[in-house]
Structure 1
C-alpha cells in the first residue's frame, strides 16, 4: 500500500469513529489550527520568505490574518450553521417536521496552491473541519519550504484535542483526521486515484480538468478555484489617480502571483498615457526606485515560471519596467502598452508582475471584449457611474465583481468566493465553506396519525381526489409569520377533518 493510500485509510478510519462530528471536537480542532497559525508565525514567515520573498509583515497581512478571522467566525457561528434549518411547508405537511440537516461528507482532499501556500490551503480546510469532515491536506510542492513546514507543524496541533470524545476514548497515531501528504505530480496522481467524498483544488484550468476527470471515476464532487484573465475596465469619468493607485497595489502584490489580480486593463486610448504615468508614480512610492532591493516586493516562485512570464512579454511594447534577473527570479513591475488582443500575453493568465493595457472605444467594446473570452474569476470596473457598474454586472459573467478597488472582496467572509465556467466551480468562505463541505440533507418527519387525509393519494384516483390534493399541496405556509402560521394550522386541521369524513 502506498503512502498516499495509507494516509487516506487513516483519515477514513478516523472519520468512521465519528469523533470529528461533535461540535465541541470541531471547535477544538479549529482553535488548535488558530494556535498553530499564531504560535508558528515565524516558521511560516521564514518559509514564505524563502519561497516568494514575502516580508515579515506581508505574511500576516496576505496569508494568515484572514485565516484567523475565518476561524473566529466559524467557531462563533458553528452551532448556528450546524443546526437543523426549518423550511416552508404546505398544508399537507403543516403538522410535520420539515427541515434541512447539514451533515459531514466524509473525507475531503484539499490540494493547495503555491502562490499563497497557507491562505489558499488552510482557507478551505477551515470549512472542511467546521463541517465535521476528515481531510487530506496536499500542499503544493512548488512552494517547497512552506510545504515542508506545513507537513511538520500541522500534525503537532491537529488531532491533539483532549480529552477525546466518545465513542473513541483513545486513538492511535495511525488514525488522523488531517494527515498532510507532500510530494510532486506522482504523489498527487496517486492521491487522485483514491476515493474521496469531496475534492478541493486551487490552481490552473489544465490541472483542474485532470482533477475533475479523476474525481468522475468515483462520482466525487469537486470545488475548483482556477483563476483566469481577470479584466479591469477604467471608465474615463473616474478618478484616474485613485484608480491606478489601487490597481498598482492589486496587480503587483505578491509579484503579480494572485489568482484574482487584475490581469489586463481595458481603457480608451486617451487614458493610456495617464494610466502608465500614474502606475509609474505608485510603483516608485510602494517599492522605491529599486523594487529589486525593496523588502515588500516579492519574487517569482521559481525560474521555470520566470521564463514563462518573460516569454509572454515578447512582442509587446514595454511602457514601464521590464528589468529582470533570472538568477533571482526577479521581474520588475512592468506595464505593456498598445497590446493587441492576439498578443502572446493575452492568451493565458499571466500570473506575474506584467500588466497589459488594451485600448477600447468605450464600455460597449469593453463588454464585448470580456464576453468573447473565458469567464474570469474576478472582474474589476473603476467608475463613479453606478448605472455603468450595474450594466457591466448585468451584461458579463465572472466569479466575482469588484467596483473601484482590487482584491478586497476576497476578505469578505459573507461573500462566496469561487469561479464560473473556465475559472472554476463551487465556492467557499464563511458559511459558504460550511455548506460547500456539508451534505444538506432534506428531512421530513411525519406522525402516523390522520391517515384518512392520505386517501387522496391512494388509488383508485378520481378527479375529486386530485382537486383536494391540488388545494393542500399548492397552499404554501410562510413560517416567518407566526400569526399566519397559527391561523393556517387551525384551518388545516379543520380541512383535514372534513376531508377525512368526505373520503370515508
Structure 2
C-alpha cells in the first residue's frame, strides 16, 4: 500500500522543488541526460518488481507489462537522451531582410515545477513518457501516481530517492485530498487524464494543462483484410482488459456485412481463449470492483444482442471479452466511454452514415479504419476530426517514434511522446537583439509623426498582397487549362513520334 504524503507537506515539497529548479541545476544538458539515464536504470534494474506491481494492481500478464509499458518507456527515455542536445538548441527563424539584423532567436526554456497526474490504466508508461520530456526540457517534477494503483505508487515512491535527484523530482502519493491540494498550487505545466477537474482547478492558478479523454470508433470496410483485421481489432480491445485510452470503443459496420464480420471475430475469439476467457492467463483484470460494476451495468442495460462473452465476476474484477451486435446510438454502451473489454457493433447503411455518426458526437481520441482501399480511408479521415487517424492497426501507434500522441477538442489538448513531450514542457521564448544602426532604417517610428514618416514605415512593412483573384480558378478556366494541357501533350507526342520515324528511316538507309 502506498504511503500517502500528508497534505500539509505538499506545499513544502512544492517550495523545495521550486528552490531546486531556481538553483539552475537543470540548465546543464549533461545534468538532464544523467537524470534521464538514472530514470532508465530505475526501470531496468527493477523490471521484475515493476511486473509484480502490475500484477498486484491490474492482474496483468507479464507480456502485457513488458510490451505495453516497461520496454516502451525505456525506449522513449533512450530517445530523449540521444536527442535532447538537438531539441534544446536555440533556433533561428527563417531569413528575413527586415528582422535578421536584429538576430531573432527562439530559446527553449523549462516551464518550472511541473505536475504529472498519472492515470491507473498505464501507471508506468503514462508516468515515464511525460516525465522523460519534462526532465529533458529542464523542469522540476512532482509525479502523482493514481491511488487506484497503490503497488506501483509505493514502488515509485521508494525508488525515486535512490535514482533521481530529490531536489528536483518527487513522488506524491494520495487520493482526493492530496490531489486537491496539489491542484491548488501554481505549476509550470500540468499533465493529466482527468480533464474537467484538472482544467477547472488549473484555471484558478493560470496553469497550462495537457488533457485527454476518449471514445474511439472503428469504421469497417467490407472489402478489408478481415482475417488479419479482426485479430488486431480484438487484441486492441481486450489488451489490459480494455482499459486503454486509445482502445477501439465501438465498431461501425455496414448492416449487410455485420454477420460476416461477427463470424470472423468469433473464430479469432476462440483462438485467443480456447478454454474460455475465465480460464485464460492472458487477460488482465479491471482496476476495481466499482469499475467492474459500472461496466456490468452497461452490459445489463444494453438493447443489443450479446454474441460473445458476457460473463462478469464483480468480486474477482473479471469481465470476459464481450461482443454486442445491433447496438444503436442511444444504447447504454454508447452513453459513455466503456473503458473495458466490451465491443459494441453499430450497424450502418453506408460509410457516409458512419461518418455522420462519428461527427454527431465529440471528437474522438482516435478514428480507426479497417480497409485496404485508399479512397475509403481518405474519405473517413478527410471528413472527420480526431486526435489520431489510424488504419489497420490499434493502440500501438502511441509508441511510434516521432509521432505525436494527443487529442483534439473534447478528446484532449497537448501532445506527448518523444520530442512532443519535450515540447509540451518547454517554453518557447522569443528573443531579439537590435543593433544601434537599425535606427537609420527605423527612425521614422519616432515622434513627431508626419505623412512622410507614415509612408516610410508603411514601405518597410511590405504589405503588398497578390492580385485580388490570384487563386480563384473558375470552372471555365479549369476546362481551358485541361484542354491546353491535352493539346501540349498531343503536340509533344506527335513531335516525338515524327523524330522516331525519321531516325528509323535514316537507320534503314545506312543499311
Shift of 1:465: 3.5
Query: d(CA) in 1 for partners of 2:433 and 2:342?
Result: 58
Matches within 5 A, 1:23-422: 23-159=29-165, 176-202=167-193, 207-226=194-213, 228-316=214-302, 317-422=305-410
Q: SS at the partner of 1:8?
A: helix
Asked if the contact 2:247–2:395 (Cα under 8 Å) also holds between the matched residues in 1, the reply is yes
Give the TM-score taking structure 2 as reference length.
0.86
Query: d(CA) in 2 for partners of 1:106 and 1:243?
Result: 45
Shift of 1:464: 4.2
Q: SS at the partner of 1:20?
A: helix
Per-residue CA deviation, residues 140-183 of structure 1 (Å, 9 max, x unaligned), is 01112111111111221111xxxxxxxxxxxxxxx621110001
Per-residue CA deviation, residues 109-166 of structure 1 (Å, 9 max, x unaligned), is 000010110011111111110100000000001112111111111221111xxxxxxx
Query: d(CA) in 1 for partners of 2:273 and 2:14?
Result: 45
Asked if the contact 1:124–1:433 (Cα under 8 Å) also holds between the matched residues in 2, the reply is yes
Segments of structure 1 that go 5 or more residues without pairing to the other structure are 160-174, 477-504
Shift of 1:46: 0.3
Shift of 1:467: 4.0
Per-residue CA deviation, residues 11-70 of structure 1 (Å, 9 max, x unaligned), is 111111111221011001000000001100011000101111212222110111111111
Shift of 1:293: 2.7
1:474 has 2:462 as partner = yes
Give the TM-score taking structure 1 as reference length.
0.88
Per-residue CA deviation, residues 317-348 of structure 1 (Å, 9 max, x unaligned), is 21101112222111111000101111111000
Asked if the contact 1:335–1:354 (Cα under 8 Å) also holds between the matched residues in 2, the reply is yes
Per-residue CA deviation, residues 422-478 of structure 1 (Å, 9 max, x unaligned), is 1111111111111110100011112122422122322343444444434433399xx
Per-residue CA deviation, residues 69-107 of structure 1 (Å, 9 max, x unaligned), is 111111111111111111024322232211110101000
Per-residue CA deviation, residues 353-392 of structure 1 (Å, 9 max, x unaligned), is 0000000011110010000001111110111221221222
Asked if the contact 1:255–1:300 (Cα under 8 Å) also holds between the matched residues in 2, the reply is yes
Q: SS at the partner of 1:101?
A: strand
Asked if the contact 1:89–1:98 (Cα under 8 Å) also holds between the matched residues in 2, the reply is no
Asked if the contact 1:223–1:426 (Cα under 8 Å) also holds between the matched residues in 2, the reply is yes
Query: d(CA) in 2 for partners of 1:52 and 1:287?
Result: 19
Match of 2:413 among 422, 425, 433: 425
Asked if the contact 1:91–1:472 (Cα under 8 Å) also holds between the matched residues in 2, the reply is no
Query: d(CA) in 1 for partners of 2:300 and 2:451?
Result: 75
1:443 has 2:434 as partner = no
Runs of 4+ in 1 over 3 A off after TM superposition: 460-476
Query: d(CA) in 1 for partners of 2:397 and 2:364?
Result: 15
Asked if the contact 1:109–1:196 (Cα under 8 Å) also holds between the matched residues in 2, the reply is yes
Asked if the contact 2:64–2:239 (Cα under 8 Å) also holds between the matched residues in 1, the reply is no
Asked if the contact 1:276–1:320 (Cα under 8 Å) also holds between the matched residues in 2, the reply is no
Which segment drifts farther, 368-377 or 1-10? 1-10
Query: d(CA) in 2 for partners of 1:334 and 1:19?
Result: 52
Asked if the contact 2:129–2:418 (Cα under 8 Å) also holds between the matched residues in 1, the reply is no
Asked if the contact 2:36–2:132 (Cα under 8 Å) also holds between the matched residues in 1, the reply is yes
Provide the residue aligned with 2:21 in structure 1.
15
Shift of 1:416: 1.2
Query: d(CA) in 2 for partners of 1:466 and 1:66?
Result: 59
Asked if the contact 2:309–2:323 (Cα under 8 Å) also holds between the matched residues in 1, the reply is yes
